[in-house]
Amino acid sequence: MSFSIQDLQLILPEAFLLFAICAVIAVDLVIKPAQRDATHWLSIGVVVATLLLVIIDRSADARGFSGMFVHDAVARLLKVFILLVTIAVFVYARTYLKDRKLFVGEFHMLVLFAVLGMMLLVSAGSLVMIYVGLELLTLSSYALVALNRDSPLSSEAAMKYFVLGALASGILLYGMSMIYGATGTLDLQKIHAVASLAAGSSHQTLLAFGLVFLVAGIGFKFGAAPFHMWLPDVYQGSPTAVTTFIGSAPKIAAFGMAWRLLDGALGGLHPHWGEMLAVLAVLSLAIGNVVAIAQTNLKRMLAYSTISHVGFLLLGLANGTPSGYAAAMFYAIAYAIMSAAAFGSIQLLARAGFEAEEIDDFKGLNQRNPWYAFVVLLVMASLAGIPPLFGFFAKLLVLKAALDAGMLWLAIVAIVFAIVGAFYYLRVIKVMYFDPPETKDTLALPQDIPLRWVLSINGAALLFLGLFFGPLLSWCYRAMGAG
């Protein structure tokens, strides 16, 4: 592998983020614990600066480092929203972590390294880069889940996540090795060219086995059924600040990885992996929505909700056309924004000694604070897909993608389970507006003004983007080259 100055220009945001992380680590080492706010705001500043570098980049699409790094419109779009959601995660986390004595530099370092892994992942041009980016993300996530070392629940969740994550990484790597054995290259573009000509050849069986392992690994990283066994326990066991991160931005990166592998490398095998994704979508929609109804813990309910939303996202991917991919990308972005707001609302109500994780903890919220009850209403209604909110149009687009692909049966299944899923979201709205509060005390809002403002903006964005979703949708279509 060789590289030039042009290659370094392509990877400038990632290079800046890496060096900035090292600087943040150095600062965190020399400040006192009471000055930890410096690490927090410096981390946000690093993410904002990286975001500006991505936004102002107007260079043409190109491949660098011998094709290992791809600089294109899809990567830029995904990076913008990964970084935006990460900023919100940092703001939401500050008061929550302080109240639990978890406001440590390690949280900020691990999140920043995970963000770097996601940026590399969505720009991957080879199997090696995909694996490097994925492992940087997942290894940081394992440590984040175990951030609260004094909590047996967090330790158990981290161990389960690590063991199952290692298994999934092994499955994905095994699939990659089969693809390499069948094609003789690690470059995704070259794999696409060779795989398209492999039908009927002696390598067809090896490619098919490699594809099965790849889809299984992608399913685990998404949290799709039946590879979802880690997700509810990890969401519930992690500190809510960590759950907010794991449940939002990485879903955008997972879409980027799936698109690079399935379309960028194995687009010629779409008739095979399209059917696999359709099966995963049905299982995710059924298991996610049905099991979520029985949950009383809000974080666990949102975990099963995530599984169902992954099912919707897979409808767009299964389409196998640029318009289908654009719909899936739009859905991944919409879900990341909605998920960040949902977990942010839990952190708003939480305080020292009180996690606000149960649905009953939201009883009578409208009587205690009407504005934040309205914000939570927007979040839950958007997740349920109620018009004219952001989530409704995201669901509509992936359903259209399924119909365009001739999968009427899959669209009908999705609609049925969308109606089923609306029940558990409406239950949260019901307890806020119609159940009496468990305490007569007023809602103790944190003094962290940025938290309150960012959550309000996040909730309002779901309504704004629902009413004016056209520019973002057009951006997704242009990035995918769809007409």
Nearest Cα to Cα of residue 365 among 350, 353, 376 = 376
Please list the rounded mean pLDDT of every run of 10 residues in the chain (483 residues).
Answer: 77 95 94 90 97 91 90 95 97 93 94 97 95 95 94 93 94 94 91 76 82 93 91 94 95 96 90 93 96 94 96 94 96 97 92 84 88 95 94 96 94 95 94 81 66 94 95 94 75
Kindly give the interhelix angle for 370-384 and 390-404, rounded to the nearest 10 degrees. Answer: 0
SS3 content of the chain, % helix, strand, coil (to 5): 80, 5, 20
pTM: 0.95
Q: Match 């095998």 to its residue by tokens.
A: 269
CB 122 within 8 A of CB 253: yes
Amino acid at site 122 = V
CB 307 within 8 A of CB 288: yes
* Residues paired with 354 in a beta bridge: 351
CB 343 within 8 A of CB 240: yes
Task: Determine the Cα–Cα distance for residues 146 and 425; give it in Å rounded to an integer.
Answer: 29
Q: Note if the bond before 226 is cis, omega within 30 degrees.
A: yes
What sign has the CA pseudo-torsion 452, 455, 457, 463? negative
**How many CB atoms neighbour CB 106 within 10 A?**
14
pLDDT of residue 442: 45
Number of residues in the chain = 483
pLDDT of residue 60: 84
User: DSSP for 137-193?
Assistant: HHHHHHHHHT--TT-HHHHHHHHHHHHHHHHHHHHHHHHHHHHHHHHS--BHHHHHH
Amino acid at site 341 = A
Q: Tokens standing for 306? A: 């995530």
User: DSSP for 380-400?
Assistant: HHHHHT-TTSHHHHHHHHHHH
Gyration radius from the chain CA atoms:
22
Phi first, then psi: give them for residue 393, nearest 5 degrees.
Answer: -70, -30
* Residues paired with 62 in a beta bridge: 71
pLDDT of residue 476: 95
pLDDT of residue 439: 62
**How many CB atoms neighbour CB 99 within 10 A?**
16
Q: Taking the chain, what is the end-to-end CA distance rounded to the nearest angstrom?
A: 36
CB 391 within 8 A of CB 383: yes
